[in-house]
Structure 1
Amino acid sequence: MSAPVEIVPGCLYWPGWLDRAGQEALAEELREVLARAPLFTPRMPKTGQPFSVRMSNCGPLGWVSDTTGYRYQPTHPETGEPWPAMPARLLVAWDALAGTALRPEACLINWYAPGARMGLHQDRDEEEFSAPVLSLSLGDSAVFRIGGTTRRAPTRSVRLASGDVLVLSGPARLAFHGIDRILPDSSTLLRQPGRINLTLRRVRPGASSEILP
């Protein structure tokens, strides 16, 4: 495995970590996940404005956003059913790159159609910040931007392509980051134009029964 590139302190980037065959297999597994946990449109808590991305989750917990706030919960907000299990391929990536014995509890599945974006934000709805956030990209490339722990901190941008992995830990765990734009027709992986971003997170403080052997 090649050495990662450090974008900013604590933000490590592995270009092309998952090969084409692995991407195709994971995309098929995600189709099965989304058949059980369909994409939904989250809304901003204060305004009710819809996000430009659609999302779902897999794993014990899932992240949702609506007019009652941001939170993690064990069930889909529309079907009421438990989230499907994470594909084993994602746990392999976590074990290889996350650098922690703690298991991820949530995998947020974001679908970026052409024209969708995600403004600068922090991942801070978790109780456990010692574990990193791991992000894996599938489909069309995106322009990812990351700064520091304040909105005024300088930012850097990197193009994330299908199969790329980012890990945010240490000083980057609470860094502001976002997606400025999707680059259309930059991948042939998915059946329709757009990008899937898979974000693995540990939500609660770890217990001995929930760590890797």
Structure 2
Amino acid sequence: MSKTQRSRLTRAQIEDLFSRLAELNPHPKTELEYQTPFELLIAVILSAQATDVGVNKATRRLYPVANTPKAILELGEAGLKSYISTIGLFNAKAKNVIATCRILVEQYGGDVPRDRVALEALPGVGRKTANVVLNTAFGEPTMAVDTHIFRVANRTGLAPGKDVRAVEDLLVKAVPAHYLQDAHHWLILHGRYVCKARKPDCPQCVIRDICRFKDKTVC
């Protein structure tokens, strides 16, 4: 294994890092609003290159009207667009959601499959989306690496990697098993609110002494 495939932190430091994040937020969860695996799946599809806040605003209008594959199919692509038009790339997303709903109805009886291969075969669903659904809806210890996790993993030295798959694979190996279920939520939230892209809030960071980031902010 090369240096780029190994955590720059010791096992004790990794344990300490997640212990602190867990103490700060014992029960982390996605900021996407959902009640069922299907609602989560659609919300994650809609969230690509969009904010969770924006997706939630749209689904608060959509789900009371249509929150099953059959109901969204009955809306049709044009009808669906009227609910999600405030979200970026809504035309492509509407097409993918309708196609996904059709597959769910025709092949899975309207249920969301608890299987990575089946999930990734759905239009608009990639590895990250599949990982979110498997973890958040079905309790699988998967690691959904988005831009926030990619940034935090590289800055801290927790799981340096040149691409998201390299970071995902290393995180799955490096994160202690008892933290893996919630790890991606902690890392996403940390990247979203503390370890921000343009100016990380290092003075308020609970893991700043563990972090290997060279350009820490001081105010």
- The answer to whether TM tops 0.5 is no
The TM-score normalised by the length of structure 2 is 0.30
Between Structure 1 and Structure 2, the one with more helix by share is 2
Bigger radius of gyration among the two: 2
The TM-score normalised by the length of structure 1 is 0.30
Between Structure 1 and Structure 2, the one with more strand by share is 1
